[in-house]
Amino acid sequence: MSSLLVDNIGELVTNVAGTGEGGPLGIRRRAAVLVEEDRIAWVGPAAIAPAAGRRIDADGAAVLPGFVDSHAHLVFAGDRAAEFAARMAGQRYTGGGIRTTVGATRAASDDTLRGTVRRLRGEALRQGTTTIEIKSGYGLTVADEARSLRIAAEVTGETTFLGAHVVPAEYADRPDDYVGLVCGPMLHAAAPYAKWIDVFCERGAFDADHARAILACGQARGLGVRVHANQLGPGPGVQLGVELGAASVDHCTHLTDADVDALASTEVPWTSGTGTGTGTVATLLPGAEFSTRSPYPDARRLLDAGVTVALATDCNPGSSYTSSMPFCIALAVREMAMTPAEAVWAATAGGARALRRTDVGVVEVGARADLTILDAPSHLHLAYRPGVPLIRQVLHNGVPQCR
Ligand code: NIG
Ligand code: FE
């Protein structure tokens, strides 16, 4: 069996509460981690670390669980840099540009789409992301949604069918028919490649009735539920997600007290392939507020109400063209009043909860050997040194990644 010891770790973030210091971060000092094949086999003091076939010397640096990016749209063609420039010159983001990307995506070859997905997946990995969720949503025909998910499934098990991203132009005057297509032939073609179903529940996209119908069809096909909710204004998305037992409601930028109460009181138990848990996570996507120059979500209000918060990139060519979890952590700390510890937890363990995974986002025996070694002595530096490439090395499934 191939074994690898990550030794001489100055600060190990385990996310095992009650371990060492740092509250939920479960920080151990002067630690080592033994990896066997793709799993963590031992965690303890470096002074008594077992021998291993290979050794990585962390040289006193901080080591974290790999980031879990639970929300990304990587299957698309083209970009919308001009739209970004117009926004920075004062235009508002409305989501209207989604149709531009739909046109480019439909016209692209499989290899072009595959190239973009792999490039962005590689970019994310080099920045410490070891688990990533990828949505469809720029095809919006039966064939284009199915191929988007087929290509996404080549690089991740966390695939999400977002046929209900917007109503495409050819269905503009008959949205009911489009909902019928999504629930019928499109879901049928997409489901073999998808683990989750998602709807953009927003004024100008899908209302509560349409969103409920689509999510219920997905659930009946065995897909888990996630919702794009309350991004551009207050709306029914968050409470609909909670009602349907969604794993996560994402964006959460415009929340009422009733939305926060609904999230705080979700105790619905779940069982997944990797473990059990409860509740609906609020996934915040500060890259979107950055890139649309919008007010950030009120993370403090959610955290203080006891809601589980995750951070993700929302990587897409329109509202948030970043694949960088460290950037999102820095934004969350500076702009959303999260502490560095809360932000790091949300970007690792929080993302894992949003995907209902218990084998990632944590450093403990039996977990996947997904580790990020920083070029820094502490997790604090991720927010303290924004924009600096602090990811020294990444282990994914026990394999050190080339840089
Ligand atoms: O999560 N809000 C809907 N979907 C994406 C944006 C997609 C786009 O603008 O292309 C989001 O922000
Ligand atoms: Fe999104």
Q: Which residues line ligand 1 (CB under 6 A)?
A: 95, 97-98, 101, 200, 228, 231, 288, 314, 316-320
Does the pLDDT of residue 355 top 80, yes or no? Answer: yes
Task: Please count the other Cβ atoms lying within 10 Å of the Cβ belonging to residue 76.
Answer: 26
User: Contact, 140 vs 165, CB < 8 A?
Assistant: yes
Which ligand minimizes its atom distance to the CA of 70?
2
CA of 255 to the centre of ligand 2 (A): 17
Whether residue 221 has pLDDT greater than 80: yes
Nearest CA to ligand 1 atom 12: 319
Annotated binding site for N-formimidoyl-L-glutamate: 138, 316, 318
Distances (CA, A) of 30 to 21, 58, 271, 363, 401: 13, 10, 35, 15, 23
What DSSP string describes 76-143?
--S--HHHHHHHHTTPPP-STTHHHHHHHHHHS-HHHHHHHHHHHHHHHHHTTEEEEEEE--S--SHH
Query: 105 C-alpha to center of ligand 2: Å?
Result: 16
Average pLDDT over residues 30-46: 98
d(C-alpha 275, C-alpha 315), whole Å: 27
ipTM > 0.90, yes or no: yes
Proximal ligand: closest to the CA of 69 = 2
Question: Candidates 200, 203, 311: which one to mutate for ligand 1, based on the most atoms within 8 Å of Cβ?
Answer: 200
Q: Give yes or no for residue 18 having a pLDDT over 90.
A: no
**How would DSSP label each residue in 43-90?**
EEEGGGPPP-SEEEE-TT-EEEEPEEE--B-----S--HHHHHHHHTT
Whether pLDDT at 19 is above 90: no
Residues with Cβ within 8 Å of 65's Cβ and at least 6 positions away in sequence, in order, are 13, 14, 15, 130, 348, 349, 360, 361, 362, 363, 367, 370, 371, 372
* pLDDT classification of 403: cutoffs 50, 70, 90: low
Q: Among the atoms of ligand 1, which is closest to the Cα of residue 292? A: 12
Give pLDDT tens digits for 197-220: 999 999 999 999 999 999 999 999
pLDDT of residue 267: 80
Annotated binding site for Fe(3+): 71, 73, 228, 314
56 C-alpha to ligand 1 centroid (Å): 40
Q: 380 vs 17, 22, 100, 350, CA distance in Å?
A: 18, 11, 39, 17
CB 196 within 8 A of CB 133: yes
Mean pLDDT of 383-389: 98
What is the tens place of the pLDDT at every residue in 136-159? 999 999 999 999 999 999 999 999
Mean pLDDT, residues 125-134: 98
Looking at residues 121-131, what average pLDDT do you find? 98
Provide the residue ranges of all domains of the chain, joining segments of one domain with +.
Answer: 3-66+362-400, 67-354
For residue 20, what pLDDT is reported? 85
Q: Under CATH, domain 67-354 is a member of which superfamily?
A: Metal-dependent hydrolases (3.20.20.140)
Top CATH class of 3-66+362-400 equals mainly beta
Closest among 8, 17, 130, 9 to 65, alpha carbons compared? 130
Percent over 70 (pLDDT), the chain: 100
| Alpha carbon nearest to ligand 1 atom 5, residue | 319
